[in-house]
C-alpha cells in the first residue's frame, strides 16, 4: 500500500514511497540471496557441461550472468516501487527459474551431442527460448509493479477483469482446432511457430474478480443465508455473478479437455469463498462436490463412455500404470511410467546434473520436467526445490494475513493458493498420487505463457506484501492543512477491515 490517498482522477500521481528510517526493508538481504541463487545457477551450468561435454566451456557462466542482469533489473524496480516487499520471494523464484533454464539448456546440449552436432549456442534451442521468455516475463512483472502502485486500484477494474478472464478462457474453445489444439487439448492460440495459452493469464484476472466481488458481498453472503442440512447457503442472487463466471470457465475447460486447469479454478473458487466467509462448510461442500463429481464421471466413463471416456482412461492409467495393456496403448501410461522410472533411477542423490537420460521421458521439457530433473538431482535436490516452492507460497499467504484490506487479503490468498495447488496437481500427477492432468510446472517448464503469467502473479504478490509490511500512510481527508480537500478515495473494502483478527 504505497499511498492509499491516490485521487481517483490521476493514479499516476502516486510518488515514490518515502522510506521511513528505522524500518527494515530487507532489500539488501534480497540482493544477497539473489546473488547466491545466481551462483547456484552458474554452478549447475558448470556441472552440466562437465558431465555432458566432458569439459567446462569458457562460456558456461553466460546464461547465469544474463539471468543475473535480468533479476537485478527486477530487484532495482522493486527497490524503488515496493521497498517493503517480501525479501525472499524473488530469490527463491529466480533460483527455480534459473535452474529451469539450465535444465532446458542441458536438454539442448544432450540432443545436439547425441546427433553428433556441435554444442549449441546459448541462445539456441529451448534453453535460449526460455531465456528470452524470462526476459519478457520480468519486463511484464516490472511493468505491473510500476503501473499498479497500489493493489487496491485493481479492484476498480474488477468486472472488466472478470470479463477478460472469461474471454481469455473461451478464445481457444471458439477457435478452430487447427489453431488451438495441441496434443488433444484445445487451449492454445497458435500463430505460426508462436503459441500462447491464454488460460494461464485468466487465473490472475479471475482471482481479482472473485476477490472484489466477495469483498463487496461478504456480509450479505455470511448473514443473509438460509440454513440447510446444518450448512448456511447464501442466497442465489448474491452469489450469482461469481457462480456464473466460475461455471462458465469450468464448462469451457471441460470442453477444451483441460481437466487440470478446471480443477485449479474449482479449488481457487472454493478457497476464496472460504477465506471471504470464514465458513469451513465451503471446503466440505467443495471437496464433496469434487470427489462426487469425479466418481460419477468415472462410473459414467466406464458404462456410457462418450465424453467421459477420456476421463475413464486417465483414471485407468493412474490406477494401473504398469499394466501391460495401459502401457502399450497410445496415450496410455507410457509417459507416466517413464517418469516414475526416471525418478526411481535418480534415487536419493540423483545421477548428477547432466548425467541422466531425461529424453526417455516424453515431454520432459514441459509437464514432466520434475521427473527429468529428479533423475539428475535426486530426491535430495527435488525436495529442496519443493521447499522453495513451499516458502514462496507461505510468504504469499503471510502477506495475505498481514495486509490490512480485505481485497488484498483475498487476492494474495487466492494467488498463492493457486500457485500451491498448481504445483500439487502436476507433481501429484507425475508421482502417481493423483491422476495426471496436463499442467505446467510454474517457473520451471519451458513455455512462455506459464512463465509470464506466473511472474505477473509474483509481481502482484510483491505489491501486496509491500503493502502488508510497509508503514501505514496517512488517510487522505484530514492531513495536509491548507491543501485542497481531496475527494474520498474509493477503497473497496475499507482498508482496515480484518477478516479474522
Partner 1 sequence: MPEFVLTVARFGFLILLWIFVFTVVGVIRRDLFAGVRSKSIVASPRGVGGAVPEGRPAKAKRGKAARQLVVTAGNLAGTRITLGEAPITIGRAEDSTLVITDDFASARHARLVPREGQWFVEDVGSTNGTYLDRGKVSGPTPVPLGVPIRIGRTSLELRP
Residues that bind partner 1 (CB under 8 A): 4-5, 18, 20, 22-23, 26, 29, 33, 36-37, 39-40, 43-44, 46-47, 50-51, 54-56, 87-88, 91-92, 95, 349-350, 352-353, 355, 377-378, 380-381, 384-385, 387-388, 391, 394-395, 398, 402, 404, 469-479, 486, 488-491, 494-498, 501
Q: How far is the CB of 90 from partner 1 (least distance, A)?
A: 11
Give whichever of 90 and 262 is closer to partner 1, judged by the CB atom: 90
**Taking a C-beta distance cutoff of 8 angstroms, is the pair 110, 174 a contact?**
no
All cell numbers assigned to 488: 474520498
**Residue 225, strand partner residues:** 234
Give whichever of 6 and 214 is closer to partner 1, judged by the CB atom: 6
**Torsion of Cα atoms, 148 then 151 then 152 then 155, to 10°:** 80
Give whichever of 72 and 302 is closer to partner 1, judged by the CB atom: 72
Q: Mapped to the 3 state alphabet, what secondary structure does 256-272 carry?
A: CCCHHHHHHHHHHHHHH
Give whichever of 333 and 489 is closer to partner 1, judged by the CB atom: 489
Give whichever of 87 and 128 is closer to partner 1, judged by the CB atom: 87
Q: How far is the CB of 60 from partner 1 (least distance, A)?
A: 12
CA distance 126 to 104: 6
CA distance 270 to 282: 6
Q: How far is the CB of 7 from partner 1 (least distance, A)?
A: 11
Give whichever of 52 and 257 is closer to partner 1, judged by the CB atom: 52
Q: How far is the CB of 43 from partner 1 (least distance, A)?
A: 5
Name the percent of the chain in helix, strand, coil, to the closest 5. Answer: 65, 5, 30
Give whichever of 26 and 310 is closer to partner 1, judged by the CB atom: 26
Q: How far is the CB of 36 from partner 1 (least distance, A)?
A: 6
Residue with cell 509491500: 466
Residue with cell 538481504: 29
Give whichever of 55 and 115 is closer to partner 1, judged by the CB atom: 55
Which residues are CB-contacts of 176 (< 8 A; sequence separation ≥ 6)? none
Q: How far is the CB of 209 from partner 1 (least distance, A)?
A: 22
Give whichever of 204 and 468 is closer to partner 1, judged by the CB atom: 468
Give whichever of 244 and 496 is closer to partner 1, judged by the CB atom: 496
Calculate the alpha carbon distances from 165 to 24, 43, 161, 206, 270 in Å. 37, 40, 6, 6, 17
Which residues are CB-contacts of 467 (< 8 A; sequence separation ≥ 6)? 1, 2, 150, 151, 403, 404, 405, 408
Q: How far is the CB of 280 from partner 1 (least distance, A)?
A: 20
Q: How far is the CB of 398 from partner 1 (least distance, A)?
A: 8
Q: How far is the CB of 275 from partner 1 (least distance, A)?
A: 16
Give whichever of 340 and 392 is closer to partner 1, judged by the CB atom: 392
Q: Mapped to the 3 state alphabet, what secondary structure does 281-329 carry?
A: HHHHHHHHHHHHHHHHHHHHHHHCCHHHHHHHHHHHHHHCCCCHHHHHC
Q: How far is the CB of 86 from partner 1 (least distance, A)?
A: 8
Q: Residue 14 CB: number of other CB atoms within 10 A?
A: 18
CA distance 492 to 490: 6
What secondary structure does DSSP assign to 48-106, as a single string?
Answer: HHHHHTSS--TTTTHHHHHHHHHHHHHHHHHHHH-TTS-TTHHHHHHHHHHHHHHHHHH
CA distance 24 to 247: 44
Give whichever of 56 and 173 is closer to partner 1, judged by the CB atom: 56
Cα Rg, the chain, nearest whole Å: 24
Q: How far is the CB of 271 from partner 1 (least distance, A)?
A: 22
Give whichever of 350 and 432 is closer to partner 1, judged by the CB atom: 350
What is the distance, to the nearest Å, from the Cα of residue 335 to the centroid of all Cα atoms in its chain? 24
Q: How far is the CB of 91 from partner 1 (least distance, A)?
A: 7
Residue with cell 493469464: 201
CA distance 151 to 147: 10
Q: Is 184 helix (H, G, I), strand (E, B) or coil?
A: coil
Q: How far is the CB of 336 from partner 1 (least distance, A)?
A: 26
Amino acid at each position: 500500500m504505497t499511498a492509499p490517498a491516490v485521487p481517483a482522477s490521476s493514479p499516476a500521481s502516486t510518488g515514490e514511497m518515502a522510506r521511513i528510517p528505522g524500518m527494515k526493508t530487507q532489500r539488501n538481504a534480497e540482493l544477497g540471496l539473489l546473488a547466491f541463487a545466481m551462483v547456484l545457477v552458474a554452478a549447475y551450468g558448470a556441472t552440466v557441461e562437465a558431465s555432458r561435454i566432458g569439459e567446462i566451456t569458457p562460456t558456461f557462466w553466460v546464461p547465469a550472468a544474463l539471468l543475473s542482469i535480468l533479476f537485478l533489473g527486477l530487484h532495482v524496480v522493486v527497490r524503488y516501487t515496493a521497498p517493503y516487499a517480501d525479501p525472499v520471494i524473488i530469490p527463491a523464484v529466480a533460483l527455480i527459474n534459473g535452474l529451469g533454464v539450465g535444465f532446458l539448456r542441458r536438454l539442448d546440449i544432450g540432443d545436439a551431442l547425441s546427433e553428433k552436432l556441435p554444442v549449441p549456442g546459448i541462445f539456441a534451442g529451448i534453453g535460449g527460448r526460455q531465456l528470452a521468455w524470462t526476459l519478457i516475463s520480468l519486463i511484464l512483472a516490472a511493468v505491473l509493479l510500476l503501473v499498479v502502485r497500489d493493489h487496491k486500484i485493481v479492484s476498480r477494474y474488477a468486472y472488466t477483469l472478470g470479463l477478460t478472464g472469461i474471454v481469455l478462457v473461451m478464445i481457444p474453445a471458439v477457435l478452430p482446432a487447427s489453431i488451438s489444439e495441441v496434443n488433444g487439448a484445445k487451449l492454445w492460440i497458435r500463430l505460426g511457430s508462436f503459441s500462447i495459452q491464454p488460460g494461464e493469464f485468466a487465473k490472475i484476472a479471475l482471482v481479482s474478480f472473485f476477490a472484489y466481488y466477495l469483498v463487496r458481498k461478504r456480509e450479505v453472503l455470511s448473514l443473509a443465508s438460509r440454513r440447510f442440512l446444518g450448512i448456511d447457503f447464501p442466497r442465489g442472487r448474491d452469489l450469482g455473478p461469481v457462480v456464473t463466471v466460475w461455471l462458465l470457465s469450468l464448462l469451457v475447460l471441460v470442453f477444451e479437455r483441460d481437466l487440470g486447469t478446471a480443477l485449479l479454478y474449482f479449488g481457487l473458487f472454493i478457497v476464496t469463498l472460504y477465506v471471504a466467509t470464514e465458513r469451513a462448510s465451503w471446503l466440505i461442500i467443495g471437496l464433496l462436490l469434487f470427489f462426487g463429481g469425479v466418481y460419477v464421471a468415472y462410473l459414467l466413463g466406464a458404462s456410457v463412455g462418450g465424453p467421459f471416456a477420456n476421463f475413464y482412461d486417465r483414471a485407468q492409467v493412474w490406477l494401473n500404470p504398469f499394466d501391460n495393456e495401459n502401457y502399450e496403448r497410445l496415450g496410455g501410461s507410457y509417459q507416466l511410467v517413464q517418469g516414475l522410472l526416471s525418478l526411481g533411477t535418480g534415487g536419493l542423490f540423483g545421477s548428477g546434473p547432466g548425467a541422466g537420460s531425461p529424453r526417455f521421458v516424453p515431454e520432459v521439457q514441459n509437464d514432466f520436467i520434475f521427473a527429468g530433473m529428479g533423475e539428475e538431482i535426486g530426491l535430495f535436490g527435488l525436495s529442496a526445490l519443493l521447499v522453495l516452492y513451499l516458502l514462496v507460497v507461505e510468504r504469499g499467504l503471510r502477506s495475505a494475513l498481514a495486509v490490512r484490506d480485505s481485497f488484498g487479503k483475498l487476492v494474495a490468498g487466492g494467488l498463492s493458493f493457486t500457485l500451491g495447488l498448481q504445483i500439487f496437481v502436476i507433481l501429484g500427477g507425475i508421482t502417481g498420487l493423483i491422476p495426471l492432468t496436463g499442467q505446467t510446472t510454474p517457473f520451471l517448464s519451458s513455455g512462455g505463457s506459464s512463465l509470464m503469467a506466473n511472474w505477473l502473479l509474483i509481481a502482484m504478490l510483491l505489491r501486496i506484501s509491500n503493502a502488508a509490511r510497509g508503514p501505514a500512510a496517512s488517510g487522505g481527508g484530514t492531513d495536509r492543512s491548507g491543501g485542497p480537500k481531496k475527494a474520498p478515495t474509493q477503497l473497496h473494502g475499507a482498508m482496515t477491515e480484518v477478516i479474522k483478527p
